[in-house]
């Protein structure tokens, strides 16, 4: 693996902060990530933010097909060249913003396995997108800034539990894979990174519109997380009246003095069922 600093220098480029470009520079770390992911050989992998190919190349040597999505057009010719030098023929490169792609348009014959050393500035948005389109995804291995990884894994009841924890814990069985230190990247970030595995679950009891309501309720409850539920949800983006919120909380047997950060996923589901029931 050629060091990303050298590849950038040869092309007269620099790493862009606005695109979260901290490239993996340690081939041992890339290998470890792929080994830990244990992706089967017949998998079709979607890589988000392929950069200069640190994960793309070893992945393509292991699995049947890789679809690599990269937003930065400056990197595409370099990526093509390193792929050609290795003689790899099983990689499709898509020059696009992952947030503008429909996952179902990438499908071949089976569900995707997603992998990504994610651009940190949009990693929450990417995770929400994958959750919303998880029908087409078997599992994902995603690298986050460590603090965000901790929040995603956090149980209800603490300061770390957030909208992203509730939504992702509803949609997936999440497990910790590894922490990666700053020295594995170029340029080195100031923070540690965490890799999490998401095994996506399809909801058995909520249809698409019920699930959308659940996500809206979670978003609205966390919109003013310091406030009690009756105050955070009343008048917010869902434009519920306070009386309506109190009625829904009563039906779901949830104390209106509680805050969003204390509600389990099951309680959010009960609350959204109650809202649906009294909306008629």
Residues in contact with ligand SAM by CB under 6 A are 19-24, 48-52, 54-55, 69-72, 75, 97-99, 117, 119, 122
Q: Which residue is nearest to ligand SAM (CB)?
A: 49
Nearer to ligand SAM, 20 or 149 (CB): 20
Q: Are strands 91-95 and 44-48 parallel, antiparallel or unpaired?
A: unpaired
Nearer to ligand SAM, 13 or 238 (CB): 13
Q: How far apart are CA 31 and CA 57, in angstroms?
A: 10
Q: What are phi and psi of 89, to 5 degrees?
A: -120, 5
Cβ atoms within 10 A of the Cβ of 169, count?
A: 20
Residues sharing a CB contact under 8 Å with residue 61, sequence separation 6 or more, in sequence order? 86, 88
Q: How far apart are CA 36 and CA 21, in angstroms?
A: 23
Q: How far apart are CA 4 and CA 65, in angstroms?
A: 24
Nearer to ligand SAM, 34 or 234 (CB): 34
Contact 180, 195 (CB under 8 A): yes
Nearer to ligand SAM, 51 or 236 (CB): 51
Residue reference for tokens 């209800």: 156
Nearer to ligand SAM, 53 or 236 (CB): 53
Nearer to ligand SAM, 48 or 271 (CB): 48
What's the closest the beta carbon of residue 65 comes to ligand SAM, in angstroms?
A: 17
* Maximal CA-CA distance, the chain: 66
Spatial CA neighbour of 148 closest among 124, 128, 184: 124
Cβ atoms within 10 A of the Cβ of 64, count?
A: 15
């Amino acid at each position: 693996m050629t060091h990303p600093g050298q590849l950038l220098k040869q092309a007269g480029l620099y790493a862009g902060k606005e695109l979260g470009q901290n490239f993996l520079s340690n081939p041992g770390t890339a290998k470890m990530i792929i080994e830990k992911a244990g992706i089967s050989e017949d998998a079709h992998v979607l890589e988000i933010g392929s950069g200069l190919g640190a994960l793309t190349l070893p992945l393509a040597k292991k699995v049947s097909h890789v679809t690599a999505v990269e937003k930065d057009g400056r990197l595409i010719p370099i990526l093509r060249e390193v792929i050609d030098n290795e003689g790899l023929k099983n990689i499709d490169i898509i020059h696009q913003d992952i947030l503008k792609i429909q996952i179902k348009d990438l499908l071949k014959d089976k569900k995707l396995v997603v992998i990504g050393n994610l651009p940190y500035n949009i990693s929450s948005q990417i995770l929400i997108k994958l959750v919303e389109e998880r029908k087409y995804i078997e599992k994902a291995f995603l690298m986050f800034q460590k603090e965000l990884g901790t929040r995603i894994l956090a149980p209800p009841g603490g300061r770390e539990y957030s909208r992203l924890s509730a939504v992702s814990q509803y949609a997936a069985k999440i497990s910790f894979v590894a922490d990666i230190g700053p020295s594995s990247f170029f340029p080195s970030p100031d923070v540690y990174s965490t890799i999490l595995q998401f095994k996506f679950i399809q909801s058995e009891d909520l249809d698409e519109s019920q699930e959308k309501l659940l996500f809206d309720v979670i978003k609205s409850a966390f919109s003013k997380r310091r406030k009690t539920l009756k105050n955070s949800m009343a008048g917010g983006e869902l434009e519920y009246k306070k009386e309506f919120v109190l009625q829904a909380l009563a039906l779901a047997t949830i104390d209106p003095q509680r805050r969003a950060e204390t509600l389990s996923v099951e309680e959010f589901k009960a609350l959204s069922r109650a809202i649906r029931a009294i909306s008629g």
